[in-house]
Structure 1
Amino acid sequence: MDLGADTKVVLLAAGLIFLWALVLGMWKYRQMAGSRDHVAHPYVDMAHRAALLYSFATLLVATFVQFSGWNAIMNLLSAGAIVLFFMAAIGTYVYHGWRRDTDNQFRDRVRGTTPFMIALIVAETGGFTVLLFGFVRAQLL
């Protein structure tokens, strides 16, 4: 099967996020093994789980890119917005896990939390909506 360059880029992103999840799993294990209660910091656990879930979600995005009726630029912009915020969320969890500064970033908000969350919602939902409509346009109409 010949994949478009846009699909290849998104598949590569999925693979890199999955690899990141595996590395985060090692970090989580080290914390569990060295902890009296055998649990990792909540944000280390969250980073690991989110990276696993986002890697598979990125595979779903790649599928919609492959079967979209939009051009490669539209697909890459839409998928890129989604993947960028997936990675930013994981990065935020890693940051809090590394610093051990909170167990709830919404309780301990910093400046920019709300604008970031609004941007995340718009980018992820908007990006996927574009890809979904591209799929419907090309495959169902």
Structure 2
Amino acid sequence: MTLTLATQIALIAAGVIFLWALILGVWKFAQIMRSPDGAAHIYVDIAHRAALMYSFATAMLGVFVQFSAWSTAVNLVALVVVVFFFVTAIASYCLHGTLRDTENQLHPTSPMMTASMVALIVGEIGGTAVILLGFIVEQVGTWN
């Protein structure tokens, strides 16, 4: 079976994010071992868990774009938007885990943070909805 370009990109991205998650797990373990209370910084923990979840979410998107009614271009744009926000979220968690500068990146909030969160919400939900709808349309078309 030949995979579509969108599927190839999704699965490669899923693999890279999963590898990143495994590396973050080592970082988390190292912090746990050095910590007097046996815990990693909250954002190291969040980065590790988010990367694990986002890797599998990206793999799911790969399945949806493989069997989509939409064009490669539509699937690619939607996929890149979603994965971009997945990666930037993980990166921001890593940044806060490295800097140890906060335990809540959303508080206190700012107009820039609010705009970033709105963009993330629209991008992740909108891109996923486009991809899922393409999958559903294609599958419904096969029902007799």
User: Which residue does the alignment assign to 2:95?
Assistant: 95
User: Which residue does the alignment assign to 1:43?
Assistant: 43
User: What is the distance in 1 between the residues matched to 2:92 and 2:12?
Assistant: 21
Give structure 1 regions of 4+ aligned residues with deviation exceeding 6 angstroms: none
User: Which residue does the alignment assign to 1:61?
Assistant: 61
SS of residue paired to 2:40: coil
Post-superposition Cα deviations, 1:1-38, rounded to whole Å, max 9, x if no partner, equal 21111100110000000000011011101100000011
- Is the contact between residue 44 and residue 97 of structure 1 (CA under 8 Å) also seen in structure 2? yes
User: Which residue does the alignment assign to 1:20?
Assistant: 20
User: What is the distance in 2 between the residues matched to 1:111 and 1:47?
Assistant: 24
User: What is the distance in 2 between the residues matched to 1:111 and 1:34?
Assistant: 37
User: What is the distance in 2 between the residues matched to 1:108 and 1:26?
Assistant: 30
Moved more, 127-136 or 19-28: 127-136
User: What is the distance in 1 between the residues matched to 2:113 and 2:24?
Assistant: 23
User: Which residue does the alignment assign to 1:6?
Assistant: 6
TM-score (norm 2): 0.94
Alignment of structure 1 residues 53-132 onto 2, 5 Å: 53-110=53-110, 112-132=112-132
User: What is the distance in 1 between the residues matched to 2:134 and 2:106?
Assistant: 35
Shift of 1:110: 4.8
Cα RMSD, aligned residues only: 1.0
User: What is the distance in 1 between the residues matched to 2:92 and 2:14?
Assistant: 18
SS of residue paired to 2:108: coil
Shift of 1:108: 3.2
Q: Structure 2 regions of 5+ residues with no counterpart? A: none
> Percentage identity across aligned positions?
50
TM-score (norm 1): 0.96
- Is the contact between residue 67 and residue 138 of structure 1 (CA under 8 Å) also seen in structure 2? yes
User: What is the distance in 2 between the residues matched to 1:135 and 1:92?
Assistant: 31
SS of residue paired to 2:29: helix
